[in-house]
Structure 1
Amino acid sequence: MEILSEIADNLLHLREKKPLIHHITNYVTVNDCANMTLAVGASPVMADDIGEVEEMVAFAAALVLNMGTLNLRTVDSMLAAGRKARKAGIPVIFDPVGVGATKLRTETAAAILREVRPSVIRGNMSEIKLLAGLKTDIKGVDSAAAEEDGEIIAAGLSRELDCVVAITGKRDIIAYRNRLCYIDNGHPSLAQVTGTGCMATSLIGCYCGVTDDWFCGAAAGILTMGLAGEVAQRSLRAGEGIGTFRVRLFDAVSTMLPEFILKEGKIHGVQIGN
């Protein structure tokens, strides 16, 4: 499939170019996101002070904004860095963690959508439904929403915001304009490790840092995490569990080859509309 070939090529380009990926992310997963960025072949910077974010993002190939552990200081930094990135044509990848759980998260997400206009939004079904203005159950920062009609919701929000929308779950969905794809790689153990969603968002940022096709960049990041989850799970022996699985995720990403993506990637792309 053409998109698999593009993803495989982008992995090579990423490792050749080693793009700088600026993160303003959460303190629960910041170290894992930095290490996942390194594992795939990019270079992370985690600067979040308002005094340097605009200067720092100017050097970056992509900006990742993650609402996992919000505070008023980082909200200002996200908005400042995001506006600077968009003005400079640098892709912004937004992870609206826990939107709808609190007033601060909901208002911050709205401000980022309005003032930054992200290039890619990656979230679980509950988060994407809430951004789309739909009622849904929430459970802290975890998804409690049913996954039916995900492609309709993703495509509708993508058209409304004119950005790539990715929903991660049992079956991942990526939509942009008249393009939509499903990804069926992954393993349930990914949901048992804190931060795999955040790490997937970082991987999207890495790929978007080397391509202008942000739809493909989003698919590449999510596919890479899904494949890594499968490899990590298969590598476990008797007596090894989630801790070993987490370490093996990084190993799987760092050793992933383009030919493995072409062989094992389970991605189905469709055209929607004209």
Structure 2
Amino acid sequence: MNTITRIRKGNPLIHCITNIVVANFKANGLLAVGASPVMADAIEEVEEMTGIASGLLINIGTLHARSVEAMKLAGKRANQVGIPLVLDPVGAGATSYRLNTVREILEEVNIQVLRCNVGELAAIANSPWEAKGVDSGKGELDVVFTAQEVAKKYNCIVAVSGEVDIVTDGKQVEEIIGGDARMPLVTGSGCLLSALCCSAVATTEKDDFQAVVDVMHFYKRIGEYAGRNSIGAGDFAVHILNGLDLLSKREEVEWSK
């Protein structure tokens, strides 16, 4: 059974502590592939909610003091109950508050997947980079080497999205091409990818690395599907959801490798 089919058949409950900009799009994307989203960030309930979830996604897109505390509490609970934790360090290089928060989370909890863009990777690795808000920005970086080093340091899988996606566990490296140049124009497209990665590792039987690779390949296909069927940014977003729904229902998924 392939990874996408496992998500649909497994119907994992994904607890997303996320940002207000992307919550609706992310929830609809998870539903489209057969997962069940829940988005609870109140300190009073995050530990309990994490305790019944299949996986936890922490997204730092719109931070404040209470949400940071909630993220740490939920992350520690995820480690206690043994469910996978995916961290999306949105705009990690934009401000010191964001970067410090990411570093605190990485020090205090164990994550299974770090899903980021190149700028966020550079910030976490303390490499020179010109950040542009929460977007990737620009600079020069050996992405594969840096991703491998970060993966080794935090004992996790690093999945870097971009024109060419990189997935590594510090040893294995997969480079993934495809997609559509308009994906970054849809707010939440990267955040949704992180949620899909969480769904994948929450339902995989044993190989987290391959599960993440499969999802990254699949999402490139989703971008291509949306590109073929849309005329602008508005219906491009709709066709991302349509693609997730339609392509994930196929019994056999032909990966675009």
The normalised TM-score by structure 1 is 0.89
CA contact 1:20–1:45 (8 Å) conserved in 2: yes
Aligned: 1:231 with 2:231: no
In structure 2, the residue matched to 1:173 is 166
Partner AA of 2:210 in structure 1? C
Partner AA of 1:251 in structure 2? N
CA distance in 2, matches of 1:81, 1:170: 32
CA distance in 2, matches of 1:136, 1:256: 36
CA distance in 1, matches of 2:79, 2:140: 31
Aligned: 1:244 with 2:235: yes
1:197 to 190, 194, 200: 190
CA contact 2:197–2:215 (8 Å) conserved in 1: yes
Partner AA of 2:253 in structure 1? I
CA contact 1:125–1:147 (8 Å) conserved in 2: no
CA distance in 1, matches of 2:215, 2:167: 11
Partner AA of 1:224 in structure 2? F
CA distance in 2, matches of 1:139, 1:251: 30
Q: CA deviation at 1:109?
A: 0.3
CA distance in 1, matches of 2:196, 2:140: 23
CA contact 2:119–2:131 (8 Å) conserved in 1: yes
Aligned: 1:213 with 2:207: yes
- Residues 91-240 of structure 1 aligned to structure 2 (within 5 Å): 91-146=84-139, 148-211=141-204, 212-236=206-230, 240=231
CA distance in 1, matches of 2:174, 2:146: 13
Range that drifts further, 130-139 or 218-227: 218-227
CA distance in 2, matches of 1:260, 1:167: 26
Partner AA of 2:180 in structure 1? H
Aligned: 1:42 with 2:42: no
Q: CA deviation at 1:47?
A: 0.7
CA distance in 2, matches of 1:251, 1:260: 17
1:32 to 25, 30, 34: 25
In structure 2, the residue matched to 1:261 is 253
CA distance in 1, matches of 2:99, 2:241: 32
Q: CA deviation at 1:223?
A: 2.1
Q: What per-residue deviation string (whole Å, max 9, x for no partner) do you get for residues 197-255 of structure 1? A: 1011011111111014221232233222211110011113xxx3110111011000111
Unaligned runs of 5+ in 1: 1-7, 267-274
Residues 246 and 208 of structure 1: CA distance in aligned 2, closer, same or farther (over 3 Å): same
Partner AA of 1:199 in structure 2? L
CA contact 2:128–2:139 (8 Å) conserved in 1: no
Q: CA deviation at 1:260?
A: 6.3
Unaligned runs of 5+ in 2: none
In structure 2, the residue matched to 1:272 is none
Q: Runs of 4+ in structure 1 displaced over 4 angstroms?
A: 257-260
Partner AA of 1:252 in structure 2? G
CA contact 2:117–2:162 (8 Å) conserved in 1: yes
Across the two proteins, how many residue pairs are aligned to each other? 255
